[in-house]
């Protein structure tokens, strides 16, 4: 964690943000996100990374401008953009590619010079698969027909494998669920372009010339894991998919640098973590006024403090315990 008195944004030259669950959920902006990003943009470049392959950067930037953000298409780094880079290394220029997905993916595949088909009858050289709300069983079936032949078959690129996607009405199946259906049919796995793979992060760093980037996400298994793989600091904001229970159980490579309730915390001093054991062997972890004590395999809350500091202290205590969370007796109030 950062030192006392510093904020997550201190020293950051490029702020990179996920979209679904961080900036918006469906058609609605997440509370406080727009104002916080507007303020952050006054001192640094702000870019947006999205695994959602259903829309073009032009469409995404238009939505962000509708919320009041100053976002151009070039500020959007998408998983389809990363996917076509992978395709270019797998098939010849101008090849026919079977596309499962929406306009965002089709646009990038066409801009890269490939021919588009939706049918396995056209003998495609590769399959590229991304999310779109209208993807149907028939689309997944065509991909499965084209990918017949197991590992000896044609290349298969997935824009991302997010299991879920936040929507205004709740959580819905994401591209990972649809990829899994094809995987079950063909018995093989795709090459993945988007988060948590490095390609999309590296593309963002190169595009914006970042030297000290900070990435904001709402998912541990894609956003935070990807940022860690790319060697950049990260924020888990608790406005999307993953909450305190998932956070406490996070594996070492899924743990964020910062934990925020919402994006207002980007510019606020981040409290340090203090920990140590007393002469009886009880180890205490303190963040703000929240104190978590470890006695043997039991973790209990000694001082509640603010809700967010309680979650931060609990996460640090679990992570420092040196054993998997299932080997600990964690009091429910630490993650509720």
CATH 3.40.50.1000 positions along the chain are: 14-51+196-267, 80-190
Q: How far apart are CA 95 and CA 192, in angstroms?
A: 19
Question: What is the residue-wise DSSP string for 262-318?
Answer: SGGGGGSPPPPEEEEE-TTS-EEEEETTEEEEEETTEEEEEE--SHHHHHHHHHHHH
Three-class DSSP category at 40: helix
Long-range contacts of 304-312 (CB under 8 A, 24+ apart): 304/333, 307/261, 308/259, 308/260, 308/261, 308/265, 309/271, 310/334, 311/238, 311/244, 311/247, 311/259, 311/335, 312/1, 312/259, 312/271, 312/273, 312/287, 312/288
User: Residue 2: what pLDDT?
Assistant: 40
Question: Is 20 a known active-site residue?
Answer: yes
Three-class DSSP category at 223: helix
Phi then psi for 308, rounded to 5 degrees? -65, -40
Longest dimension (CA), the chain: 73
Question: What is the residue-wise DSSP string for 121-187?
Answer: GG--SEEEE---TT--HHHHHHHHHHTTTGGGS--EEES---SEEEETTEEEE-HHHHHHHHHHHHS
User: Residue 166: what pLDDT?
Assistant: 73
User: Residue 164: what pLDDT?
Assistant: 86
Q: Please identify which of the residues 18, 75, 218, 309 carries the catalytic annotation.
A: 18
Quote the pTM value.
0.86
Q: Please identify which of the residues 10, 13, 20, 253 carries the catalytic annotation.
A: 20
Q: Which fold has domain 14-51+196-267?
A: Rossmann fold (3.40.50)
Q: 313, 222 in Cβ contact below 8 A? A: no
| Gyration radius of the chain over CA positions | 22
User: Residue 169: what pLDDT?
Assistant: 87
Question: Is 18 a known active-site residue?
Answer: yes
Question: What is 80-190's CATH number, 3.40.50.1000, 3.30.830.10, 3.40.50.300, 3.90.1150.10?
Answer: 3.40.50.1000
List the chain pLDDT tens, one digit each, 336 residues.
344 669 999 999 999 999 989 999 888 999 999 999 999 999 899 999 998 888 899 999 999 999 999 999 999 999 999 999 899 999 999 999 999 999 999 999 999 999 999 999 999 999 999 999 999 999 999 999 999 987 889 999 999 998 888 777 888 999 999 999 999 999 999 999 999 999 899 889 999 999 999 999 999 999 999 999 999 999 999 999 999 999 999 999 999 999 999 999 999 999 999 999 999 889 999 999 999 999 999 999 999 999 999 999 999 999 999 899 999 999 999 998
């Amino acid at each position: 964690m950062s030192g006392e008195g510093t904020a997550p944004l201190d020293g950051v030259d490029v702020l990179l943000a996920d979209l679904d669950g961080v900036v918006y959920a469906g058609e609605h902006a997440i509370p406080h996100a727009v104002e916080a990003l507007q303020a952050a943009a006054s001192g640094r470049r702000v870019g947006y990374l999205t695994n959602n392959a259903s829309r073009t950067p032009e469409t995404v930037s238009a939505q962000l401008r509708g919320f009041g953000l100053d976002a151009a298409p070039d500020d959007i780094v998408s998983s389809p953009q990363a996917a076509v880079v992978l395709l270019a290394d797998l098939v010849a220029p101008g090849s026919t590619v079977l596309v499962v997905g929406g306009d965002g993916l089709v646009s990038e595949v066409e801009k890269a010079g490939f021919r588009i088909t939706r049918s396995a009858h056209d003998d495609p050289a590769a399959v590229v698969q991304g999310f779109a709300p209208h993807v149907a069983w028939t689309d997944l079936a065509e991909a499965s027909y084209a990918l017949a032949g197991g590992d000896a078959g044609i290349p298969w690129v997935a824009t991302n494998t997010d299991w879920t996607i936040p929507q205004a009405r709740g959580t819905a199946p994401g591209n990972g669920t649809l990829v899994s259906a094809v995987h079950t049919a063909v018995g093989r796995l795709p090459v993945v372009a988007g988060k948590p793979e490095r390609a999309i992060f590296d593309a963002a760093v190169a595009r914006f010339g970042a030297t000290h980037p900070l990435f904001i996400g709402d998912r541990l298994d894609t956003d935070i894991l990807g940022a860690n793989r790319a060697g950049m600091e990260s924020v888990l904001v608790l406005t999307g998919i993953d909450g305190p229970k998932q956070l406490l159980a996070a594996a070492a490579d899924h743990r964020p640098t910062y934990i925020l309730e919402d994006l207002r915390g980007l510019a606020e001093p981040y409290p340090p973590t203090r920990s140590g054991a007393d002469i009886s062997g009880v180890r205490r972890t303190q963040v703000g006024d929240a104190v978590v004590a470890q006695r043997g395999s039991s973790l209990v809350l000694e001082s509640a403090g603010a809700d967010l500091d309680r979650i931060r202290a609990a996460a640090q205590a679990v992570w420092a315990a040196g054993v998997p969370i299932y080997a600990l007796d964690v009091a429910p109030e630490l993650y509720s």
